[in-house]
Amino acid sequence: MKTFEEKWTAWLDGQLSGRELVEFESSLPDLAAAEAEKRNAHKLGAFLKKELGSQALSNEEFFNHQIHERIARENGNPSRTTRSTWWTIPRLVWSGATALALFLICSVAIMRQHETGGQSEYLTQILNSTVDPAANPNATVAIFETKSDNKVTVLWTEGLQTLPADYAAK
C-alpha cells in the first residue's frame, strides 16, 4: 500500500488513473487548492527545465576515457595506464643517485674553499691560577689569554663570595 506522499507524487506526475485517482482526489480536503498546487508544481518544473538544462560536456573523449577506466577497474583488469606512474623504481634509483652525486660535489667544493690547519683564533692558554685557601676554600681562579692579535685576557672566578680589596687589577 502506498503512503500519502507516494500517492501525492504520483498524482502530481499524472500517474494515477481509474479507481485509484478517484479515491485519492476524494481523500483531499480541498481539491481546488490541490489542483492549484499541481499547476504551480508543473510551472516550476517547466521553468527549471528551461533554465537549468543539462550542460553539454566540453571534453567528451576524456569523459569516455574515465568511464572506460572505471569499468576496467571494476572488472578487475586495470589498464596499463592506471598501473604505471611517473615514479617507477628505476627513476627513483636514478633520482637518488643524482641527488647524492650533487651533494658530494657541493660538499667537496665547499670543503676546498676553507683552509684546514693552523691555530684557531679562539684558542686560549691558562696562565696561572692562585686562590687564598683561607679566604675562600671552594674558590677557583683561572686566567685565559687568547693567541690572536687582539690579546684579550679573561679572569674567570668560580665560588668566590667576594674579591678581596687587595686583589684589584693594576
Q: pLDDT for 42-60, tens place per residue? A: 999 889 888 887 666 667 7
Q: How confident is the model at residue 170 (pLDDT cuts 50, 70, 90)?
A: very low
Q: Is 156 contained in some domain?
A: yes
Q: Is 129 contained in some domain?
A: yes
Q: Is 26 contained in some domain?
A: yes
Q: Is 152 contained in some domain?
A: yes
Looking at the 3D structure of the chain, how many domains does it have? 2
Q: Is 161 contained in some domain?
A: yes
Q: Is 136 contained in some domain?
A: yes
Q: How would DSSP label each residue in 56-93?
A: PPS-HHHHHHHHHHHHHHHHT---HHHH--SS-HHHHH
pTM attached to this predicted model? 0.32
Q: Is 101 contained in some domain?
A: no
What separation in angstroms does the CA of 56 have from each of 47, 64, 65, 66, 125? 19, 14, 17, 17, 86
Mean of pLDDT values over 75-80:
68
Query: Is the pLDDT at 36 greater than 80, yes or no?
Result: yes
* Parent domain of 30: 4-51
Mean pLDDT of the chain: 77
Q: What is the pLDDT of residues 157-168, one digit of tens each?
A: 676 666 556 665
Nearest to 128 by CA among 143, 147, 140: 143
Can you read off the three cell numbers belonging to residue 115?
683552509
What separation in angstroms does the CA of 150 have from each of 19, 97, 120, 154? 114, 48, 13, 12
pLDDT at position 70 is: 87
Q: What is the pLDDT of residues 86-118, one digit of tens each?
A: 778 888 999 999 999 999 999 998 888 766 666
